[in-house]
Amino acid sequence: MNARNKELSSVSSIIIVVSGILLVVSIFLPWWKMIFFAPQYPEGLNIIVYPYKLEGEIDIVNGLNHYIGMANFSEETFPELTYLPYIVGGYAFLTIITAILRKKFFLYGLICLYVLGGALGVWDLRKALRQFGTNLSPTAPIKIDPFIPPIIGENTVANFVTNSVLGLGAYLLIVAFILLLIPLWKDRKTK
């Protein structure tokens, strides 16, 4: 039997189901966060990104960003928030179907979809960060050079230090992906 058409074990199928459950749970948790620190805000200001909403001190951050000419952060400026939960739900559904079918061929396809979805997500976030940091209003009261905040890491603009970090939901996505790889190793063909 071709290794790609080989059936996955019951344990591997359970591992894949757990991966799908983690995807669903991740929808309700933060995926990404920016924390802004400055002398006047030593406790930090947050923008917390869920797959379907923004939380944190967004109004304060927008008020401060006005001074450097940056566009406002809002759920309306991120249309992805209206459909991303459905995409993640679709991935979870495909993950459960893969667990039921128990074919390595479908698992390979699912892993490729995860990689593609992850790459598109990183690209989309990077594009948004570039848009916000480089399209500064020329009439802003404070003139600064355009910048691109990092997806993960630290950035300094004027007297603000910004830390960008992954949220718990993003870690669950990573674990869900790793769980999909385990059956490939566990059920590998031995001679």
Q: What are phi and psi of 142, to 5 degrees?
A: -115, 125
Across the chain, mean pLDDT equals 91
Note the pLDDT of residue 157: 85
Joined together, the tokens standing for residue 22 give: 């983690």
Note the pLDDT of residue 66: 87
Distance, first Cα to last Cα, the chain: 13
Cβ neighbours around 174 below 10 Å, total: 13
Note the pLDDT of residue 191: 38
Please give the C-alpha separations between residue 4 and each of 9, 10, 87, in angstroms, as whole numbers.
Answer: 14, 17, 26
| SS3 label, residue 153 | strand
Residue 130: pLDDT band with limits 50, 70, 90? very high
Residue 102 and residue 157: Cα distance in Å, rounded? Answer: 51
Domains along the chain? Answer: 3-186 (1.20.140)
Which candidate, 20, 32, 24, places its Cα nearest to that of 152?
32
Each residue of 36-61: pLDDT tens digit? 999 999 999 999 999 999 999 999 99
Residue 190: pLDDT band with limits 50, 70, 90? very low
Beta-carbon contacts of residue 121 (< 8 Å; ≥ 6 apart): none
Each residue of 77-87: pLDDT tens digit? 899 999 999 99
| SS3 label, residue 46 | strand
- Average confidence (pLDDT) over 122-148: 91
